[in-house]
Structure 1
Amino acid sequence: MLRLGRVLRSEAVRQLRHLSGKPGGDVLPQSCDVLIIGGGGMGASSAFWLKSRAQQLGKNLRVLVVERDSNYTSASTVLSVGGVRQQFSLAENIQMSLYGYNFIVNSQKHLGDVDVCYQPNGYLILASSKGANDLAQNSKLQNELGARNELLGQEALRRRFPWLSTVDVELGCHGLDKEGWFDPWALLMGFKRQARSLGANFANGDVVGFEWNSSGGLSGAVVDSGDGVQRTVKFETCVLAAGAHSGQVARLANIGNPEAKEEVLRVALPVEPRKRYVYVFSTQGRNCPGMATPLTVDPDGTYFRRDGLCGNFLGGRSPNDDEEPDCSTLDVDHGYFESDVWPTLANRVPAFESVKVQSSWAGYYDHNTFDANGIIGRHPHYSNLFIAAGFSGHGIQQTPAVGRAISELILDGRFSTIDLTRLGYERLVKNQPMLETNIV
């Protein structure tokens, strides 16, 4: 699978071309009703929901998705570890992930013949004395909203997980249901294939500019398809779902221009790429975590889980702000594993005192520098521009809910499944962050 490293990427690309049906992408049309910038999880989900719900409403909606990385070699979606959890601190994130879980386990009902390889092994989030109270409060909210997890003290953790060292751990929250992990590649291909079967077009290209109408509204996007010619695609509505590059695309629409006449246009879309490493490792240590081991998160943010049936594990840790790596390439820093990841793994799981890294990869978070949370909804200046970006590492599990939410805003004019109003652009304008404490 693609997420196990660069070596198998060519095979994954071959599968993409087979599933997509048109290796070179669709022909770029001159106009569409809805242009979606970005064909990763958020963009493909939005296309699927727009076409599916438009068909139910008897509407003929022309949907075009433009994706700059036609082979998805650096797309955040397919380079993620594919987790789904409800262990968040914000109600909206909990609700979106509950919706995502239900969609994922019923993916064939929605997307047809697709196997997302869901593994229902849960999450185990550990807290020191400093974070125990927050962990307990978050668990209470999660269960009230429909999650199912339990709080375990030191002794209970040792009994349940005999491979675990509880030094410096006061409390753990263990997901009993509706949590696990899946294949993000399969989910993306399911969205894309089903959206195409409903009539959506997916074209290869990079949006390099916008056009405006006489009223100052967005009316078209300039697309570079890589053939030396730039073409304009006219649209009625635009969805910005370009992942880690969303902030860059927004600047092309004059969003974040400090010299803009309208104050709201001076507020940038604060989304930028942040590189994260994932390491696949094995161990010959005794008392090793078994097949049903949950995805375990240490108080310092280091995480690991089982990977496949061959005894491998995968893990990593998001760096501190002063450790952020260079994002110009997706090269992996193997020294980071030795200095920042392995010491915590060995301290938390004695069987990991001697490990061997088998493979590794790097991917981008579409990091929201404002509050590390998704920005979902209509732009306050451009009434025909909708944004789905900035999920900061927890977006893949929320693609079903966000895509549906975008379709509701465009087709119905309001949220109906989950009220995501608080995650709109207005919070940036008002400088009111919606902080999520459980970022992994």
Structure 2
Amino acid sequence: MSSKVVIVGGGVIGSSIAYFLRASDPTVDVTVIERDPSYVKSSSALSAASIRQQFSTPLSIQMSLYGIEFLRGIGNILEVEGFKPAIDLHEGGYLFLATQAGDATLRENHALQRKLGADITLMGQDALHAKFPWLNVEDLAAGAFGESGEGWFDGYGLVQALRKKAQSLGARYIAADVTGLVRDGRRVTHAVASNGERYACDTVVNAAGAWARKTSAMMGIDIPVFARRRSIFNVSSPARLEHCPLLIDPTGVYFRPEGKTYICGTSPSADNDPDDLPLDEVDHAIFDEVIWPTLAHRVPEFEALRVENCWSGYYEYNVLDQNAIIGYHPDVENCVFANGFSGHGLQQGPATGRGVSELILAGKYTSLDLSSLSWERVLEGRPIVEKNVV
């Protein structure tokens, strides 16, 4: 039993853990140390803020099924003194498209998603054209569309709602950077902060997001999680696309509605994806050379596009397999890691918060078993193969 828990990082993962800890056991002392309470550079605030069940591994699907349940009930779950937070959840669905080369994988994934209870419809070329007449389907074999349980929301609003609820339950937030973690053998005894204070802990949680590697190094742990920049573009177009979902092209380029405009992006090629690129720069070349041509091909009306705004945020990118690392490390018996979500942190945050709180309080998972995401696979070099990485 941990009476004092220090959480490094107060984004969606850290704040979800803080909320679940205090909601589950009000006697636990929870301190969250967050370097930037404005969240200006946090992945939680800078992402495309979406949720899907269209993964290829059972656990990712189950985590997001719980995530959508949590988001749907957020007004009541995270109510504070009569104020019910709203995150503008729009269940517009994901639409994963496949050419003939990806058709078998799409169908295999769809069968698993349906088996686990996800509301996904598989569509052939004719059905795609009928439902989305603005879509160029000539080179497509199939598509998978989320009828419900998938869509997008206000990511910054979710972080703030979790933070405020955790605080209302007694979690303490410290606006500082963690500059050191003091180890005594196989335990971390204190977190040292930039405000000059030392915070004693029975358990420490690394929820530092894109800065997880720095926090891990303070304990002598090498974690395969790096800050990878992703640029997002807000574009306007005279196109009016009825029933527009969040569309994932076979190339990996995505777009979705954002009010009367659209946001879009893609991941750079593996040979052009260095670590720690500055967030105050945007990869305009990827828009001109990859995103715009792809959008214009897939949606002919997107020939006319105008960039209205753009920004960059970090993926906390797990280079082993782009899946989260959750759990204790064998070398540090009282540190729980919750890192490397690789763009899935917002949607997997509620399930992670619940699971990590169970691990700390009960010593095991009592709802959804997250043990396959443990350090064991990392240390043994056994990647979890996720076919639907975006």
SS of 2:43's equivalent in the other structure is coil
Inter-partner Cα distance in structure 1 for 2:3 and 2:224 = 28
**Change beyond 3 A, Cα 1:156–1:373:** same
Inter-partner Cα distance in structure 2 for 1:380 and 1:314 = 42
Aligned to 2:28: 61
1:367–1:392 contact (8 Å) kept in structure 2: yes
1:318 to 2:285 alignment: no
Aligned to 2:47: 80
Inter-partner Cα distance in structure 2 for 1:90 and 1:380 = 25
SS of 1:428's equivalent in the other structure is helix
- Give the one of 100, 109, 112 matched to 1:129: 100
Aligned to 2:23: 52
Amino acid at match of 1:249: T
Inter-partner Cα distance in structure 2 for 1:325 and 1:415 = 35
* TM-score normalised to structure 1 length: 0.85
1:393 to 2:347 alignment: no
What is the deviation of 1:195?
Answer: 0.4
- Give the one of 238, 245, 252 matched to 1:284: 238
What is the deviation of 1:327?
Answer: 3.1
Aligned to 2:200: 234
Q: Number of paired residues?
A: 384
Aligned to 1:270: 224
Residue correspondence of structure 1 range 333-412 to structure 2 within 5 A:
333-412=283-362
2:186–2:333 contact (8 Å) kept in structure 1: no
Inter-partner Cα distance in structure 2 for 1:241 and 1:125 = 30
Inter-partner Cα distance in structure 1 for 2:110 and 2:56 = 8
2:244–2:256 contact (8 Å) kept in structure 1: yes
Amino acid at match of 2:233: Y
Aligned to 1:13: none
Inter-partner Cα distance in structure 2 for 1:114 and 1:277 = 28
2:226–2:275 contact (8 Å) kept in structure 1: no
Inter-partner Cα distance in structure 2 for 1:216 and 1:115 = 42
SS of 1:39's equivalent in the other structure is coil
Q: In angstroms, what is the RMSD of aligned CA positions?
A: 1.3
Inter-partner Cα distance in structure 2 for 1:102 and 1:248 = 33
Inter-partner Cα distance in structure 2 for 1:367 and 1:206 = 21
What is the deviation of 1:146?
Answer: 1.1
- Give the one of 214, 217, 225 matched to 1:248: 214
1:393–1:439 contact (8 Å) kept in structure 2: no
1:123–1:174 contact (8 Å) kept in structure 2: yes
Inter-partner Cα distance in structure 1 for 2:198 and 2:52 = 41
What is the deviation of 1:248?
Answer: 1.6
Cα-to-partner distance string for 1:8-52 (whole Å, 9 max, x where unaligned) = xxxxxxxxxxxxxxxxxxxxxxx9700000000000000000000
1:32–1:234 contact (8 Å) kept in structure 2: no
Amino acid at match of 1:252: M
Cα-to-partner distance string for 1:261-315 (whole Å, 9 max, x where unaligned) = xxxxxxx211110000110111124xx312x31100000100001101xx21110
1:422 to 2:376 alignment: no
Inter-partner Cα distance in structure 2 for 1:333 and 1:421 = 37
Inter-partner Cα distance in structure 2 for 1:150 and 1:132 = 14
Inter-partner Cα distance in structure 2 for 1:295 and 1:75 = 22
> Quick check: 322-331 or 166-175, which moved more?
322-331
SS of 2:369's equivalent in the other structure is coil
What is the deviation of 1:325?
Answer: 5.5
2:232–2:311 contact (8 Å) kept in structure 1: yes
Aligned to 1:306: 257
**Change beyond 3 A, Cα 1:326–1:337:** farther
What is the deviation of 1:326?
Answer: 6.4
Gaps of 5+ in 2: none
Identity %: 41
1:107 to 2:74 alignment: yes
Aligned to 2:171: 200
1:293 to 2:263 alignment: no
Amino acid at match of 2:241: P
2:229–2:277 contact (8 Å) kept in structure 1: no
* TM-score normalised to structure 2 length: 0.96
SS of 1:130's equivalent in the other structure is helix
SS of 2:88's equivalent in the other structure is coil
Cα-to-partner distance string for 1:105-124 (whole Å, 9 max, x where unaligned) = 00012101100100011000
- Give the one of 159, 164, 189 matched to 1:219: 189
Inter-partner Cα distance in structure 1 for 2:346 and 2:217 = 24
Gaps of 5+ in 1: 1-30, 256-267
Cα-to-partner distance string for 1:94-148 (whole Å, 9 max, x where unaligned) = 0000000000000012101100100011000001111111111111111111101
Inter-partner Cα distance in structure 1 for 2:14 and 2:143 = 35
1:394–1:439 contact (8 Å) kept in structure 2: no
- Give the one of 31, 56, 60 matched to 1:89: 56
1:165 to 2:136 alignment: yes
